[in-house]
């Protein structure tokens, strides 16, 4: 990994300690997780499961009894905010924060978009003065119609109705940001498909200009699997410096790779995705370096399950003499994944938080299907989760 060799490795943090990694898991939890990842690791099982789930949803066959005690309980905090309390408390016992993520997707009607905005606002209220909830988060597609964002990103002229609609979107986002600002809780804006990302970036930067004068409250997200993003990041930071606001940035590799490639091929435009995994890894780590070099202007949240990048950030911090609990630097993972990273980082004194998706089981299904598919396609990830769970089961003599 680029740059790693230049850094003193004496104090390298280890992610191998499974006793720490699974300290919050009972024996039953651990066995359930083992079987769940075993099933998820099988491509055909996930494909069959996905089809059956879609059919069940279409014919309104109740699936809660199957999904809730298994995959839902593993990856989600609950069906509503209050349901999440036990998981929030449990994580906080181990020094890990929660990022409440209302995971209802794919709604288009204005009343649903308003309702989602209100729910995100509820999370800011829950976070106010609560150190167990260091961030809030939302997706712009939760409060805006996808096709509208696509039209804006294509730079086509909006008609009068669309202009009105866009104004309502900005009002919703502004209200969420204002509530986060008043709760003094940083707010992450997730990144999405490249063909709507321009509109999301525009909204995110206008909110930063408004709310990030003294502290980074609004965070945009940078997907380093896109080959143009590192240069874009550098330009954005220059712009923030010139205009007198601070930059908040969540750094991720990116979640829509297959979809991006397919669309680019189908519509015959240049693929926005890096040529290979190494290029994504390289740019992710360069973005970490750039952030540390500009830490007086930039606050980051490293959203990753990659051990090498995580380790690299701890080493960059060490080299720059930045304290482990400096609030400008956070590490984040998804609930139910990479506990060996989250728990070991937290035990060493770093700032760590987990995304905790929540929502009615039926509504959260698209999120769960994505997790299942991700854990199948990213074979290394499932293998790693299973290997660690097996190691811990053996250590507990189970």
Query: Which residue ranges make up the site for ligand FAD (CB under 6 A)?
Result: 190-191, 221, 223, 225, 252-257, 273-274, 276-277, 280, 303-306, 332-334, 355, 378, 381
Name the token pair of 343: 């728990």
Cβ-based nearer residue to ligand FAD, 167 or 306: 306
User: What angle, 0 to 180 degrees and rounded to 10, lies between the N-to-C axes of helices 277-293 and 229-243?
Assistant: 20
Cβ-based nearer residue to ligand FAD, 79 or 283: 283
Cβ-based nearer residue to ligand FAD, 122 or 227: 227
Cβ-based nearer residue to ligand FAD, 304 or 376: 304
Name the token pair of 209: 């200009």
| DSSP assignment string, 129-195 | T-TT--EEEE-GGGTS-HHHHHHHHTTPPP-HHHHHHHHHHHHHHHHHHHHHHHTT--EEE----HH
β-pair partners for 135: 99
Name the minimum Å distance from CB 278 to ligand FAD: 8
Decide: helix, strand or coil at residue 35.
helix
Contact, 316 vs 263, CB < 8 A?
Answer: no
| DSSP assignment string, 247-275 | EEEEEE--S-HHHHHHHHHHHT----B-S
Name the minimum Å distance from CB 199 to ligand FAD: 15
Name the minimum Å distance from CB 200 to ligand FAD: 10
Q: What is the DSSP letter of 276?
A: S
Name the minimum Å distance from CB 188 to ligand FAD: 7
Name the minimum Å distance from CB 101 to ligand FAD: 9
Q: Shortest Cβ contact with ligand FAD: which residue?
A: 303
Name the minimum Å distance from CB 41 to ligand FAD: 15
Rounded Cα distance, 390 and 398, in Å: 9
Cβ-based nearer residue to ligand FAD, 63 or 137: 137
Cβ-based nearer residue to ligand FAD, 306 or 344: 306
Decide: helix, strand or coil at residue 326.
coil
């Amino acid at each position: 990994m680029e740059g790693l060799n230049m850094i003193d490795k004496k104090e390298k943090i280890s992610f191998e300690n499974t006793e720490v990694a699974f300290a919050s898991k009972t024996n039953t939890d651990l066995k359930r997780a083992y079987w769940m990842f075993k099933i998820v690791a099988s491509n055909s099982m996930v494909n069959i499961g996905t089809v059956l789930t879609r059919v069940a949803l279409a014919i309104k066959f109740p699936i809660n009894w199957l999904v809730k005690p298994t995959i839902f309980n593993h990856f989600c905090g609950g069906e509503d905010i209050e349901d999440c309390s036990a998981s929030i408390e449990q994580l906080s016992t181990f020094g890990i924060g929660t990022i409440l993520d209302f995971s209802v997707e794919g709604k288009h009607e204005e009343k649903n978009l308003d309702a989602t905005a209100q729910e995100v606002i509820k999370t800011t209220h829950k976070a106010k003065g609560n150190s167990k909830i260091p961030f809030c988060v939302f997706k712009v597609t939760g409060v805006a119609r996808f096709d509208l964002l696509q039209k804006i990103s294509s730079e086509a002229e909006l008609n009068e109705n669309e202009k009105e609609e866009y104004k309502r979107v900005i009002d919703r986002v502004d209200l969420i940001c204002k509530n986060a600002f008043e709760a003094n809780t940083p707010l992450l804006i997730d990144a999405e498909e490249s063909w709507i990302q321009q509109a999301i970036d525009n909204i995110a930067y206008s909110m930063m200009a408004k709310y990030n004068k003294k502290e980074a409250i609004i965070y945009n997200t940078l997907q380093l699997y896109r080959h143009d993003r590192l240069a874009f990041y550098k330009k954005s930071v220059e712009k923030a410096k010139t205009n007198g606001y601070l930059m908040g940035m969540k750094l991720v590799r990116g979640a829509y790779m297959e979809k991006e490639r397919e669309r680019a091929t189908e519509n015959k435009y240049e693929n926005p995705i890096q040529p290979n995994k190494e290029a994504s890894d390289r740019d992710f780590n360069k973005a970490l370096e750039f952030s540390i070099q500009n830490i007086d202007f930039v606050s980051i949240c490293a959203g990753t399950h990659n051990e090498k990048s995580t380790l690299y950030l701890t080493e960059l911090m060490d080299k720059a003499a930045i304290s482990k609990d400096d609030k400008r630097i956070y590490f984040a993972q998804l609930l139910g994944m990479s506990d060996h990273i989250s728990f070991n980082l937290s035990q060493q004194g770093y700032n760590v938080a987990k995304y905790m998706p929540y929502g009615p089981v039926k509504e959260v299904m698209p999120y769960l299907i994505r997790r299942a598919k991700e854990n199948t396609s990213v074979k290394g990830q499932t293998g790693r989760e299973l290997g660690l769970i097996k190691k811990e089961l053996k250590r507990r003599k189970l």
